[in-house]
Structure 1
Amino acid sequence: YSQSLPLYRAVGNRSGEATTLNNIGLVYADLGEKQKALEYYSQSLPLYRAVGNRSGEATTLNNIGGVYDKLGEKQKALEYYSQSLPLLRAVGDRGREAISLNNIGGVYADLGEQQKALEYYSQSLPLYRAVGDRGGEA
């Protein structure tokens, strides 16, 4: 990714740059380097917005929410997860919509708001079933 990033920048491929920045963020998140992950996600987000890639924008918002969730900053996580949801609905990505709904449910469960958690889990379940994601359904 570090080798491809300057190439995308050199040719002015902002979409490729955004995806690469997001992917670098994913690697840092997997390595447990949450602040570095946020750095890269924060760089990719405005690029996705600039090129009008709503799916990429939604994915990055969800990824940022995931980092805040792991950091224990539940309200911030909820903010970012909630921002991704309408974008996923707009692009018709039912699989990622289910994931986002499930993530929001998880945050509400962590906050002790079981009824709200149940509402979001209940919304995600039929979507998981519709896209055939048996792991998500489980």
Structure 2
Amino acid sequence: GDRNGEAATLNNIGSVYSQLGEKQKALEYYSQSLPLFRATGDRGGEAATLKNIGGVYSDLGEQQKALEYYSQSLPLFRATGDRGGEAMTLNNIGLVYSQLGEQLKALEYYSQSLPLSRATGDRRGEAMTLNNIGLVYSQLGEQLKALEY
């Protein structure tokens, strides 16, 4: 009867399938966990699952769908005060915009992500965001600025 535990387990199984490269199977498990998180009112679990679904769609090259799920997870991370989840989601949205060729929009999201990564002490997240900003500047032809990042 522990629906929240069931939701978390389904989400974890989805993550394993995603890491194994079995993206459709991952989506199946995430899709089972999402309504359970919603039913139990676990907004943090819901946010994480939405972010995970966005990641799968991004990996599958379906950037618009990825954006849709990341955009649903972002306000939930903010509402629950999960600044680390918020930073990661902002970075992921930046990646999607970069892949869509919208570099200036990508920079907007990266610049929102960076201070959150720093504030939460997520050095790995900070490094990834700095690298992503550098890549955008490189794609924009601003090599010296890219080098700074």
TM above 0.5? yes
Q: Say yes or no: does 1:133 pair with 2:119.
A: no
2:55 pairs with 66, 72, 91, which one? 66
Partners in 2 of 1:77 and 1:97 — Cα distance?
15
Partners in 2 of 1:79 and 1:56 — Cα distance?
17
Cα root mean square deviation, aligned? 0.4
Q: Which residue of 1 aligns with 2:18?
A: 29
Instruction: Please state how far the C-alpha of 1:135 moved relative to its aligned partner.
Output: 1.1
Q: Which amino acid letter does the alignment assign opposite residue 94 of structure 1?
A: R
Partners in 1 of 2:31 and 2:125 — Cα distance?
27
2:80 pairs with 91, 94, 98, which one? 91
1:100 pairs with 89, 107, 123, which one? 89
Gaps of 5+ in 1: 1-11
Gaps of 5+ in 2: 128-149
Partners in 1 of 2:9 and 2:125 — Cα distance?
26
TM-score (normalizing by structure 1) = 0.91
1:30-88 Cα shifts (integer Å, max 9, x gaps):
11000000000000000000000000000000000000000000000000001000000
Q: Which amino acid letter does the alignment assign opposite residue 106 of structure 2?
A: A
Instruction: Please state how far the C-alpha of 1:90 moved relative to its aligned partner.
Output: 0.1
> For 1:114-125, what aligned pairs fall within 5 Å after superposition?
114-125=103-114
1:68-124 Cα shifts (integer Å, max 9, x gaps):
000000000000001000000000000110000000000000000001000000000
Q: Which amino acid letter does the alignment assign opposite residue 7 of structure 2?
A: A
Identity of aligned residues (%): 79
Partners in 2 of 1:72 and 1:19 — Cα distance?
26
1:11-30 Cα shifts (integer Å, max 9, x gaps):
x1100000000000001001
